């Protein structure tokens, strides 16, 4: 999703799209390229002419050019699909994006790489199409642009930034002027949280960067991630407490409640790695476990019934006369 300076004409945008599409189509991994400039006649597409969109359709990876690897000289063709799970014999999608970005270093153009649907959702929810965005708020548009240009040069030096682009909100032709400028930061090989932490340390060292009345605020996907993190700090402990309470209410034993996660992991491990000579009593887990007449506790959850030692699915002779003995009933066949 390339961006350029505001005020670009329709003819210039068309020419720029033709140049970039021609460069992208030269890559053998690319099947089709479609570029768009401007916006449709709908309120859900607020893109100006300076915000270009290029949709790239890739060929299947089996048709990508091969690169030499450790099994290229000896592995037969039928074995190579399995070996590709260990080492690819073609470039990865991340490497392809890096090569495309290097080939599209056009003067006055900044690239941001994302998926089409994801980019549209990010634009509608956060107003920023990159993983990280920085809002600059203030009362003077010219001052906002000056701060944005300076911050753009600073953030470009932070590791992990593929491209940094500052909007020129005062340029171009507008009827309404929004007194908030954006910086778009596209990341490569780094998570937004660590990048923002390092960027904040860099910006804090810049004395006089923000005049009185101006502020910076991070936005983009990081803003949504921060909200989810704050909610999880409350929801996750409450969920664990609720699980602990339900297990304890069923077992009436603190020891069994605390050891339940370990038993669950062991049960799933036994399903993956069967132990010879051991009866897999977990099979038939869709069956219903009841307690025979005479038992004090008739209502037992299937999980607890299977985890209690000593419970069997019935005696060898098929009777169930002993009190408290569990029997298994098929959901469709009855007893």
- 267 and 207 together in one domain: no
Percent over 70 (pLDDT), the chain: 73
Q: Answer yes or no: are the C-beta atoms of 137 and 217 closer than 8 Å.
A: yes
From 111, 133, 153, give the residue that closes a domain. Answer: 111
- 5 and 90 together in one domain: yes
178-203 tens-digit pLDDT: 556 687 777 877 888 888 888 888 88
- 90 and 152 together in one domain: no
- 180 and 283 together in one domain: no
35-45 tens-digit pLDDT: 888 777 777 66
- 52 and 138 together in one domain: no
The CATH number for 87's domain is: 3.30.70
pLDDT band (50, 70, 90) for residue 30: very high
150-165 tens-digit pLDDT: 888 888 888 888 888 8
Residue 200: what pLDDT?
85
Indicate whether 48 belongs to any domain: yes
From 194, 229, 264, give the residue that closes a domain. Answer: 229
Based on the structure, what is the number of domains in the chain?
3
pTM score = 0.54
- 118 and 213 together in one domain: yes
202-221 tens-digit pLDDT: 888 886 778 887 888 887 77
Indicate whether 25 belongs to any domain: yes
* Tokens, residue 19: 């140049």
- 283 and 201 together in one domain: no
The CATH number for 139's domain is: 3.30.70.1320
Indicate whether 240 belongs to any domain: no
Residue 26: what pLDDT?
93
- 102 and 159 together in one domain: no
CB hemisphere CA count around 147 (13 angstroms): 29
Indicate whether 216 belongs to any domain: yes
From 88, 111, 134, give the residue that closes a domain. Answer: 111
| Structural domain harbouring 21 | 1-111
Indicate whether 215 belongs to any domain: yes
Count of Cβ atoms closer than 10 Å to residue 92 Cβ: 10
Indicate whether 247 belongs to any domain: no
- 219 and 141 together in one domain: yes
* Tokens, residue 55: 């949709």
Helices marked H in 89-220: 93-103, 116-126, 141-155, 192-204
pLDDT band (50, 70, 90) for residue 240: confident
Q: 105-114, 270-279, 312-321: lowest mean pLDDT where?
A: 312-321
Question: What mean pLDDT comes out for the span 4-16?
Answer: 82
Q: Which residue has the higher pLDDT, 58 or 266?
A: 58
Tell me how long the chain is.
335
Q: Which residue has the higher pLDDT, 274 or 226?
A: 226
- 76 and 93 together in one domain: yes
121-133 tens-digit pLDDT: 877 777 777 888 8
Indicate whether 234 belongs to any domain: no
């Amino acid at each position: 999703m390339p961006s350029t300076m505001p005020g670009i004409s329709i003819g210039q945008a068309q020419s720029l799209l033709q140049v970039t599409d021609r460069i992208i189509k030269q890559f053998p991994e690319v099947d089709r390229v479609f570029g768009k400039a401007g916006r449709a006649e709908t309120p859900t597409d607020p893109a100006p002419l300076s915000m270009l969109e290029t949709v790239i359709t890739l060929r299947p990876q089996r048709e990508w050019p091969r690169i030499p690897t450790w099994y290229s000289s000896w592995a037969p063709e039928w074995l190579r699909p399995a070996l590709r799970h260990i080492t690819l014999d073609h470039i990865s999608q991340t490497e392809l994006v890096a090569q495309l970005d290097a080939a599209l270093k056009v003067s006055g153009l900044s690239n941001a790489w994302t998926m089409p649907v994801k980019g549209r959702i990010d634009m509608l929810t956060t107003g920023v199409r990159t993983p990280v965005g920085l809002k600059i708020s203030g009362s003077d548009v010219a001052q906002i642009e000056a701060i944005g240009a300076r911050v753009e040069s600073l953030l470009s030096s932070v590791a992990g930034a593929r491209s940094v682009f500052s909007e020129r909100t005062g340029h171009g032709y507008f009827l309404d002027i929004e007194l908030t400028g954006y910086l778009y930061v596209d990341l490569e090989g780094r998570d937004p949280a660590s990048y923002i932490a390092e960027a904040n340390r860099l910006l804090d060292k810049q004395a006089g960067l923000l005049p009185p009345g101006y502020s910076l605020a991070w936005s983009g996907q990081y803003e949504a991630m921060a909200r989810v993190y704050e909610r999880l700090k409350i929801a996750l402990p409450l969920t664990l407490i609720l699980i602990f309470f339900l297990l304890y209410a069923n077992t009436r034993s603190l020891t069994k409640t605390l050891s339940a996660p370990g038993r669950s992991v062991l049960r799933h491990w036994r399903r993956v790695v069967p132990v010879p000579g051991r009866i897999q009593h977990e099979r038939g887990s869709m069956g219903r476990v009841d307690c025979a007449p005479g038992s004090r506790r008739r209502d037992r959850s299937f999980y607890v019934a299977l985890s209690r030692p000593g419970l069997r699915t019935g005696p060898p002779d098929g009777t169930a006369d002993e009190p408290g003995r569990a029997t298994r009933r098929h959901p469709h066949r009855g007893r």
